[in-house]
Amino acid sequence: MAWVGKTVLVTGGTGSFGSRFAAHALRHLKPRKIIIFSRDELKQYELRTGGLDDPRLRWFLGDVRDLDRLRRAFQGVDIVIHAAALKQVPACEYNPIEAVNTNINGTRNVIEAALDCGVQKVMLVSTDKACAPVNLYGATKMAAEKLIVQSNSYTGDKGTRFSVVRYGNVVGSRGSVVPLFLNQRNNGKLTITDDRMTRFWITLDQAVRFVETCIDQMSGGEIFVPKIPSATILDLAAALAPGCKLETVGIRPGEKLHETMVTEDESRHCLDLGDRFLLKPLFPWWSEGDIVNANGHEPVAVPPGFVYSSGTNHHFLTVDEIRALLGELRLLQAA
């Protein structure tokens, strides 16, 4: 196992993904040490006292905007998972410079510190909103992806490798539509933006396992995209709150009807690996011979004009499947 005896650092380590990944790694991956890097001392305290406690854990206060602190934290680190970001679309629209400073400049700092400290692998956790972005959050994550991919040109003989995972909405994450609908159904009315809207859906545990396997598989410069189901907003509403009245309020600024994870332009350098897609970096230091076939599926080029969109996905969750998934995650509370 590539993880045994390694030191792993997670930026944004007190977030939903970071804390779940740390717990998963402690149980299954046998690392020597896991460093939780975040700027929120209260969340670190709550995680420690809430059960995420292990002698292999280290708790570092710091901000990805602070390059010196990153350099200190990255000493002796083998693998960095960069999950720190400002993620709320309205907050990023209202505070654009803050979004740029964290999501773009912070990513640059992660790259600089990783190169300076000889980190082996860096994986950026990105989002479908980085693909053909229409809001500032998506634009900053697109820029972060470009920085990470291109940084493989800077490694020289240091051997540091940088790659990206890009996936869709995490079911039930903070600030998402699931907790909103659960709260609204008590009043008998749900607000929806547009009844045509669709989204990709992935569970937090699926996201954690996907990132793990992509780090195993990466050789540097790839963008990995999971094959995951879509759901319509109407089916989600029917699953969460059957019988509730629906009020259409219109698409908010920075929102799309459908999300995309592979555009038609990207499809020209996209490979199908069975359970995921791989976007090849268009640089001379990478070739298809670099692919580590971790899932046993031979890479196949996608057909011309291919687009991976939540609106034209081959797999849509039914109302019953949504209810089963939410029940399994304990998100479908009794009305």
Mind telling me the catalytic residues? 129
Encode 261-271: b = buried (16+ Cβ within 10 Å), e = exposed. bbbeebbeebb
Residues with Cβ within 8 Å of residue 242, at least 6 apart in sequence: none
CA-nearest of 318, 156, 303, 142 to 231 is 318
Q: Are 77 and 35 in contact (CB under 8 A)?
A: yes
Coil vs helix vs strand at 117 = helix
Q: Which helix (H) or strand (E) holds 116?
A: helix 106-117
Residue 7 tokens read as: 């030191």
CA-nearest of 162, 105, 164, 166 to 131 is 166
Long-range contacts of 144-150 (CB under 8 A, 24+ apart): 144/85, 144/103, 144/104, 144/107, 145/223, 147/104, 147/107, 147/108, 147/111, 148/82, 148/107, 148/111, 148/122, 148/124, 149/221, 149/223, 149/281, 149/283, 150/283
Q: Are 107 and 140 in contact (CB under 8 A)?
A: no
| Torsion sign over Cα 166, 168, 170, 176 | positive
CA-nearest of 228, 236, 166 to 194 is 236
CA-nearest of 261, 253, 65 to 145 is 261
Neighbours of 33 (CB within 10 A): 17
